Structure 1
């Protein structure tokens, strides 16, 4: 399948006090539709920085970050907003659910922010993540695994080209983590979304179609 994400010679640095930290050094890789790729490596190797750039929440110092045909490195704010709302889904380690919204409302939020509604799509995802009995509950009433399943459904509701997940099982016990991994894998196969994960979890790494090993801001092995 065609590439939905392409990083070309991407470099990123930032200041930490008086120190200049080279977070990424000439990173190049592609991600095809329907592909599951895991970014692996020690803490501080550049995994989260890579996800932030693909998410369009940060920009590189140099290089191209192309997502669904748009270079987010040089795009204007309107293009970035459109990419986040239409092309990119994000699953956060700490869930980031809206506490005053129900499960159903949280999942529908990306559609609502874009002025749209798709009740059938929302209800279908609620069913597929096994939360029919929780659809009217608030995040504080959910277990960690249920909150993460809500976050996965929210990331997929607008049919993004790519779903990004930063340590998606890091806050869960092993059983809940395995269930969330199976869910994400099943949904990306059915939806055709690419899936890019940053992880220390060996189970996620083993389930990925491909690993990108990073060290000191560079790709060590593809």
Structure 2
């Protein structure tokens, strides 16, 4: 029973950090795709959406190539700073963030594209700079869609399995997230533990999805 709550705490930690990471990266990518016009914009959007459609094991393999001890980034980090991401909870965060990133980026893009451009023009006429305009006009108008995307990304990160298992492994108390713990419990024939873990993660995800759905509704229907 104690192992189940440890796995839950680790899953919440990993999903929380992954969501915070996507708050910055997904928000920036969504805004850039919504507001900037540049050659290859839709190609960039397709590439950024790939983690949503690629098998998690493929994403895990890509991560191993990049951040593994022999990877170009992982090797450099280990050689110069002694940092190793493989088989760590930080590696699990990175895997969960990449898998859930498209949910934030796509939601943010749609939310920013839904902001009336006339309101932004009015802000510029009143003398607002681009950063002030974003914080005082654009983001307040788009926050519901952005937050809905973040909640969906949190739920996706909470249930991530394939990429996390390949990158972080299944070390109890260190990298064994809730979804991996379910797999291990089933493999070990521990049905009671598996049932408890499934109930916990199911309830958590339902609550998150209900919250995201409520935020995604038009204001008049909320």
Superposition TM-score, scaled by structure 1 size: 0.27
Q: Which protein is bigger by CA-based radius of gyration?
A: 2
TM-score under structure 2 normalisation?
0.27
Higher helix content, 1 or 2:
2
